[in-house]
Amino acid sequence: MEFSKTIQQRQSVKSYRTDKVISDSDLDELMQEVVLSPSSFNLQHWKFIAVKSNDTKKKIREAAWGQEHVESCSFLIAVCGNLNAFEDAPIIYQDVDPSIKGKVLPMIKGFYENKKQLQRDEAIRSASLAAMTLMFGAVNRGWDTCPMIGFDPEAVSQILELDESHIPVMLLTLGYRKENPRPRSPRRPIAEVVKMDTLNGPGLMS
Ligand SMILES: Cc1cc2nc3c(=O)[nH]c(=O)nc-3n(C[C@H](O)[C@H](O)[C@H](O)COP(=O)(O)O)c2cc1C
């Protein structure tokens, strides 16, 4: 599909068919693309938990304001951020030229170590970029998604057995839509959201 069309067609879909589901191998193909998302130092601060079990979806729905699409989707993807991704740098850089590795590994350690806020920011940034790739990749395959932060993070972390290194960044429903698309939600004018040179500059094209 032409990429601009993919962007136009993506909408948050809140109702899914339960008679037609996405297979594990189809999800695998999508995820092969998702992991091509960018991340700082290529640290890939993401982990995805693909929830297929109806029991687990039910539990998460209870922790997510009872939202129906949590349960009806094919997969509920918990997009998680790894706060300690920087510790994996030696593995990620294992095949890199030793002269580069010798410089980059200490740089990564110095950049992240003991910086809790930065570790969290980076986990959220990288996981969010991957989530966007997932949403576009899904539309490209005729599927739909809905990003969600309407859930209790502590309860969801417990259900998904997340450890101290991982935070739930967002949930994504993934499946075949049940109904035709709603009218597109309104967007702020470009001139209001794109400012030239500084925040106080003129709006683009104004
Ligand atoms: C970070 C984030 C959290 C969201 N949380 C929820 C949610 O909990 N439940 C829900 O139904 N939609 C949720 N949405 C979807 C938004 O309502 C939707 O993206 C927005 O209204 C724009 O509509 P569109 O995605 O169809 O273009 C969320 C979207 C984002 C980006």
- Tell me how far the alpha carbon of residue 44 lies from the centroid of ligand 1, in angstroms: 24
**What's the gap between Cα 98 and its chain centre?**
32
* pLDDT of 1 strictly over 80: no
Q: What ligand 1 atom has the least distance to the C-alpha of 14? A: 11
Residue linked to tokens 């969010």 = 128
| Residue 26 within any structural domain of the chain | yes
Domain carrying residue 64: 3-193
| Residue 161 within any structural domain of the chain | yes
CATH code for the domain of 178 = 3.40.109.10
Q: What's the pLDDT at 26?
A: 98
Q: What's the pLDDT at 203?
A: 98
- Tell me how far the alpha carbon of residue 129 lies from the centroid of ligand 1, in angstroms: 15
pLDDT in tens, 12-47: 999 999 999 999 999 999 999 999 999 999 999 999
Give residue 181's pLDDT band: very low, low, confident or very high (50, 70, 90): confident
Residue 69 · residue 15 · CB < 8 Å? yes
* pLDDT of 87 strictly over 80: yes
Q: What's the pLDDT at 182?
A: 85
| Residue 198 within any structural domain of the chain | no
Q: Tell me the one-letter amino acid at 73.
A: C
| Residue 34 within any structural domain of the chain | yes
Domain count for the chain: 1
What tokens appear for 121 in the block?
Answer: 């920011």
| Residue 201 within any structural domain of the chain | no
Q: Which residues line ligand 1 (CB under 6 A)?
A: 11-12, 14, 67, 146-150, 170, 185
Give residue 180's pLDDT band: very low, low, confident or very high (50, 70, 90): confident
| Residue 203 within any structural domain of the chain | no
Q: Tell me the one-letter amino acid at 109.
A: K
- Tell me how far the alpha carbon of residue 147 lies from the centroid of ligand 1, in angstroms: 5
| Residue 100 within any structural domain of the chain | yes
* pLDDT of 84 strictly over 80: yes
For a mutational test of ligand 1's pocket, the pick from 11, 132, 148, i.e. the residue with the most ligand atoms closer than 8 A to its C-beta, is 148
Dump strand ranges (E) for the chain. 46-51, 75-82, 144-148, 166-175
| Residue 117 within any structural domain of the chain | yes
Which residues are bridge partners to 47 per DSSP? 80
